Amino acid sequence: MTAVTGPPAKMRANREDLTPMLSQYYDLCAAYDEFLVLFQVGDFYETFCEAAEETARVLELTLTQREDSTGTYPMTGIPIDNAASYVETLLDAGYRVAIADQVEDASEATGLVDRAVTQIVTLGTVVDDELLAPGSTNYVACVASADGDGGDDPEAAARHAVAAVDVSTGECLVTSADAPERALEELQRVAPAEVVVGPEAAVDPADLDGDAMRTEFDSDAFSPDAARDTLETYVPRPEAVVGNEAELRAVGALLAYAEYTQGDETLDYVSRIQRYDPRDGLRLDATALRSLELFESQGASAGPTLFDALDDTACALGRRRLRQWLRRPLVDRERIDARLDAVGELTSRSLVREDLHDHLHDVYDVERLVARVSRGRANARDLRSLKATLDVVPDVKAALSDVDSDRLRSLRDALDELEDVRDLVGRAIAADPPMEITEGGVIEEGFDDELDALRATEREGRQWVAELEERERERTGIDSLSVGHNQVHGYYIEVTNPNLDRVPDDYTRRQTLKNSERFYTPELKRREDEIFGASERADALEYELFCEVRRDVGAESERIQSVADALATIDVLTALATVAVENDYTRPQLGADGIRIEGGRHPVVERQQDSFVPNPTDLTDERIALVTGPNMSGKSTYMRQVALVVVLAQLGSFVPADAARLPVVDRVFTRVGASDDIAGGQSTFMREMSELTTILHHATENSLVLLDEVGRGTSTTDGLAIAQATTEFLHDEVGATTLFATHYHELTSVAEELSGVQNLHFTVERDASGEADASASEDGSTAGGEVTFLHRVADGASSSSYGVEVARMAGVPGSVVERSERLVADSQTGDDPRLDATASATESETPPARPADASLASFSTNGHSTGRADETPIAAERQPTDGTDDRLREVADTLRGVDVATTTPLEALTLLNDLQRTLDE
């Protein structure tokens, strides 16, 4: 966060000399010393002094100056009509913004116009549609801790809590955990834009994978008494929505903070405070969400995600609900089957599905609309949008009139048609109202008799004035006479100077111009007073009537939100059915003892390729599969597609497969990809081991685990040992269903000893030799002909990783590829002198307990390794002889002088080529 510390220093130095307006600005800056105060002056929001300099720099605006009796100050302003875009830039730059509006009419003020902060804007409390993506959620979260003296009740003894609220929609969640790391995991799943941190909270938002803004709030708001008082304004019995003191503190303080940002008013539309247990859903931590690419692509360029593949929703309500379901798939089989029944019925009834989609396309974002209505910030167009949505409800209900599934029937019954609200808005609000609600034209004619009378008086007066010009021309004989109006002098009759001698006696001079005179008559003055009086009274009455209608609609916010909830769910179920039909998905069968998938496909990748090779998966009797094969052959895609099939099934969706029989899993763990955390002090290998630690400590027999290249970040000996020990632990101690992709071919021998482990590999075809599967050749040779990756999984282990072929395909210089082929061939025929060096370097090693471990020794080369499983460590190919020592020392010195961190791949290859020539010489 970018710090804004109190009022500007220039003003602090000259506080007593400030003008009244700047003194007012100073006081607001002092009261909101962590915020950048945008101070309304007419049609602009202004900042002054150092704040102006910061604002001009961040927003790339011209810095201007204000001069008064006390001196000259820097000043930067933004137009109020276009403030949202500037505020968004300030938020992205890390600022918190306080909006200080004029809270009295400047025309009625005596002296200085009163101003007050009417809204706090932070990343987590944004409510303006211009600053929010359609169909998104924008949470501000709160973490709090408590003593947790709950006796024998583990729920009451939970010491750490996480609460989250979307201020733009009113959704509010709260949960708790018995350890900080569990609370942090839940915070990561919520993915808040901002985190309010309670006093002595044990969870540090800095550990989040993201850029959440950290906020400290009044510690008194976290006291149990204050939190209870706040919560009681939303629910009559706080104990109905919180289970322990930590949850009470978190949700109570969070709601107090939300009120503070929205003007210290109770947010009546926050009526859906939901306490949940993370164990009631399929738990996907931040690592799993990221590596499975549920919401964000991890490639070099942004690509489609699972959410994109499923998002055939028709409205913002459904889009937001789909995100929520993806973050928390179900573990209750009855609820999953109820969703699957609904999706299944909609897949088979195309007319109902298409009818629903067409109607839902006309639905506005009711959750945000009703939030604006309840906060008193909705305009007339918002109310008309609300009515347009409610007008769709009878049509949606009719489309569901004869459905069979229990879930669809319950949703149909939940659709309150809200005839009273629709009728009120339809009668009260004009069909095409203006944006402004204070300038008239928002109330429908016929809604209020007094307003109609005032409007009639105004219309009649204006009509009389419109006809006055023709009448006066006839009466006076002055053809050039005209009737006009301006804001200063009102209505007038204008006569040019040559005709002044023909002006009637009842004309009274109102204004003298260079070439004409302006007059009024007693009747014109009377009509003017009637018109203006009626117009002003009508505008004021319209505003009062509009506010009354808005309050009446806001009083029905819970009913409207219930309808919005049903529409959102119907939209998601319809979208899932559409995706299933268009992409040939099938209904999964739940309750199996293991994962069995026929013709499984990756739901995202298959859309990006002209042809996708489906693959089977059988993890029933042997629940751990060691997957080998070349890079680019499809191992990672295969593992991810198995996990995504599980996620989709427990979401309630059909799945991309010919058939799928699945268990209900409690968690999906992933250890996929290589990355580091330099800022956090973690190398790639350390982060890999941290992720592995989480899996081994928390996976259960009902979990699904994906492991990709465990142990590759250290020496080959250590890495292979870790990989084997991990496999044994998952098999013997945990029992989790596991897919383990590895280049450690020596690891595949574990399958011969552990009954629950199987080997799978991805097949390769060599063009030159015509072999159907080079991985099945006797010696696993990689020489001779190009290879084609078939992306097809088969039983058994691969005997080669085809690293050299992949290097050739990637464009590595031919000399490097040829040299690599010679080295591999020598190592496979036993002619490689490095093997003797390796053996002598490992003679002192103690043989491991399992026979499979005997292979580890051959991977050690004087304790050094590249860390890649498919590379053979290179010792000196030739022993130094007389006359070569100097040249070898030259090579060694050159290598020591290389700055690996700043060397580009091209520079590295050039250097490698030069060193190779040196050694050959």
- What is the SS3 string spanning 799-851? CCCCHHHHHHHHCCCHHHHHHHHHHHHHHHHCCCCHHHHHHHHCCCCCCCCCH
Q: How confident is the model at residue 652, as a pLDDT?
A: 97
Q: 198-202, 326-330, 697-701, 754-758 — which is least confidently predicted?
A: 198-202
For residues 477-492, give the mean pLDDT: 91
The token pair at 226 is 């204050």
Q: Under 8 Å CB-to-CB from 570, ≥6 apart: which residues?
A: 318, 356, 360, 396, 400, 408, 411
pLDDT of 422 above 80: yes
**More confident position, 711 or 311:** 311
- Give the H or E element holding residue 718: helix 716-729
CATH 1.10.1420.10, applies to 449-550: yes
CA dihedral angle for residue 441, residue 447, residue 453, residue 455, rounded to 10 degrees: 10
Distance CA 105, CA 212 (A): 38
Is residue 896 very low, low, confident or very high in pLDDT (cuts 50, 70, 90)?
low
Three-class SS of residue 106?
A: coil
Q: How confident is the model at residue 4, as a pLDDT?
A: 56
Asked whether 629 and 794 are in contact (CB, 8 A), the reply is no
Three-class SS of residue 549?
A: helix
pLDDT of 681 above 70: no
Asked whether 841 and 835 are in contact (CB, 8 A), the reply is no
For residues 854-880, give the mean pLDDT: 36
CATH 3.30.420.110 residue spans of the chain: 137-252+264-280
Asked whether 497 and 481 are in contact (CB, 8 A), the reply is no
Q: How confident is the model at residue 908, as a pLDDT?
A: 67
- Burial bucket for residue 582 (CB in 10 Å: 0-12, 13-18, 19+): exposed
% of the chain residues with pLDDT over 90: 59
Q: Residue 11 CA to chain centroid, in angstroms?
A: 40
Q: How confident is the model at residue 845, as a pLDDT?
A: 40
Sign of CA dihedral 181, 183, 187, 190: positive
Q: How confident is the model at residue 832, as a pLDDT?
A: 53
C-alpha dist (Å) from residue 89 to 49, 93, 418, 753 = 20, 6, 40, 60
Is residue 854 very low, low, confident or very high in pLDDT (cuts 50, 70, 90)?
very low
Q: How confident is the model at residue 219, as a pLDDT?
A: 92
For residues 462-478, give the mean pLDDT: 93
Q: How confident is the model at residue 872, as a pLDDT?
A: 36
**More confident position, 861 or 337:** 337
Short-list 449, 429, 445, CA closest to 437:
429
Reading phi first (left if > 0) and then psi (alpha if -120 to 50, else beta), residue 19 is in beta
Strand duo 659-662 + 704-708: pairing: unpaired
Strand duo 213-216 + 194-197: pairing: parallel
Distance CA 651, CA 330 (A): 6
- Strand ranges, E, within 135-263: 140-145, 160-165, 171-177, 194-197, 213-216
For residues 33-60, give the mean pLDDT: 92
For residues 683-699, give the mean pLDDT: 85
3-state secondary structure 366-422: HHHHHHHHHHCCCCHHHHHHHHHHHCCHHHHHHHCCCCCCHHHHHHHHCCCCCHHHH
Q: How confident is the model at residue 685, as a pLDDT?
A: 77
Distance CA 787, CA 797 (A): 18
Instruction: Looking at the structure, give the CATH architecture of the domain made up of residues 311-418+570-583.
Output: Orthogonal Bundle (1.10)
Which residue is associated with the tokens 């007066």?
A: 461
Could you read off the pLDDT of 423-464 as tens digits, one per residue? 999 999 999 999 889 888 999 999 999 999 999 999 999 999
- Give the H or E element holding residue 600: strand 595-600
Distance CA 814, CA 47 (A): 63
pLDDT of 90 above 70: yes
The token pair at 815 is 């000399």
C-alpha dist (Å) from residue 81 to 59, 213, 238, 434 = 16, 27, 41, 15
Main-chain dihedrals φ then ψ at residue 594, nearest 5 degrees: -155, 180
pLDDT of 884 above 90: no
Is residue 798 very low, low, confident or very high in pLDDT (cuts 50, 70, 90)?
confident
Is residue 716 very low, low, confident or very high in pLDDT (cuts 50, 70, 90)?
confident
Q: How confident is the model at residue 687, as a pLDDT?
A: 80
Could you read off the pLDDT of 726-765 as tens digits, one per residue? 999 999 999 999 999 998 888 999 999 999 999 999 988 8
Amino acid at 85: S
CATH of 9-121, one of 3.40.1170.10, 3.40.50.1010, 3.20.20.70, 3.30.420.480: 3.40.1170.10
Q: How confident is the model at residue 746, as a pLDDT?
A: 87
CATH 1.10.1420.10 residue spans of the chain: 311-418+570-583, 449-550
Q: How confident is the model at residue 265, as a pLDDT?
A: 80
Contacts 24+ apart (CB under 8 A), 868-871: 868/712, 868/716, 868/743, 868/803, 869/709, 869/711, 869/712, 869/716, 869/719, 869/720, 869/742, 869/743, 869/744, 869/745, 869/801, 870/743, 870/801, 870/803, 871/803
pLDDT of 817 above 90: no
Could you read off the pLDDT of 106-137 as tens digits, one per residue? 777 777 889 999 889 999 999 988 889 999 99
Is residue 835 very low, low, confident or very high in pLDDT (cuts 50, 70, 90)?
very low
Q: How confident is the model at residue 773, as a pLDDT?
A: 46
Q: Under 8 Å CB-to-CB from 509, ≥6 apart: which residues?
A: 517, 518, 519
Distance CA 444, CA 426 (A): 8
Distance CA 287, CA 484 (A): 71
Q: How confident is the model at residue 386, as a pLDDT?
A: 97
Give CATH for domain 137-252+264-280. 3.30.420.110
Distance CA 382, CA 366 (A): 9
Q: How confident is the model at residue 779, as a pLDDT?
A: 37
The token pair at 358 is 């067409």
pLDDT of 803 above 60: yes
Q: Under 8 Å CB-to-CB from 240, ≥6 apart: which residues?
A: none
Could you read off the pLDDT of 651-670 as tens digits, one per residue? 999 999 999 999 999 999 99
- Strands in 615-619's sheet, in edge-to-edge order, are 589-590, 659-662, 595-600, 615-619
Mutual angle of helices 316-327 and 557-583, in 10-degree steps: 70
Which residue is associated with the tokens 């268990």?
A: 663
Is residue 767 very low, low, confident or very high in pLDDT (cuts 50, 70, 90)?
low
Residue 77 gets which letter from DSSP?
E
Residue 653 gets which letter from DSSP?
-
- Strand ranges, E, within 8-86: 36-41, 44-48, 64-68, 71-79
Q: 421-430, 645-654, 684-693, 833-842 — which is least confidently predicted?
A: 833-842
For residues 544-569, give the mean pLDDT: 96
pLDDT of 636 above 60: yes
- Strands in 490-496's sheet, in edge-to-edge order, are 482-486, 490-496, 516-520, 508-512
Q: How confident is the model at residue 625, as a pLDDT?
A: 96
For residues 510-531, give the mean pLDDT: 93
Q: How confident is the model at residue 785, as a pLDDT?
A: 59
pLDDT of 855 above 80: no
Q: Residue 476 CA to chain centroid, in angstroms?
A: 73
CATH 3.40.1170.10 residue spans of the chain: 9-121
pLDDT of 549 above 60: yes
The token pair at 35 is 């915020």
Is residue 10 very low, low, confident or very high in pLDDT (cuts 50, 70, 90)?
low
Instruction: Looking at the structure, give the CATH architecture of the domain made up of residues 589-802.
Output: 3-Layer(aba) Sandwich (3.40)
Is residue 168 very low, low, confident or very high in pLDDT (cuts 50, 70, 90)?
very high
Which residue is associated with the tokens 């010696």?
A: 779
Q: How confident is the model at residue 881, as a pLDDT?
A: 46
Q: How confident is the model at residue 731, as a pLDDT?
A: 96
The token pair at 613 is 């090779």
The number of CA neighbours under 13 Å toward the Cβ of 850 is 19
Residue 330 gets which letter from DSSP?
B
Strand duo 283-284 + 667-671: pairing: parallel
Query: Average pLDDT of the chain?
Result: 85
The token pair at 787 is 């290879």
Mutual angle of helices 905-920 and 885-896, in 10-degree steps: 170
Distance CA 223, CA 701 (A): 41
Q: How confident is the model at residue 770, as a pLDDT?
A: 43
Strand duo 44-48 + 36-41: pairing: antiparallel
Mutual angle of helices 522-554 and 419-428, in 10-degree steps: 170
Short-list 731, 599, 701, 709, CA closest to 659:
599
Is residue 853 very low, low, confident or very high in pLDDT (cuts 50, 70, 90)?
very low
% of the chain residues with pLDDT over 70: 84
The token pair at 216 is 């400290």
Distance CA 643, CA 602 (A): 10
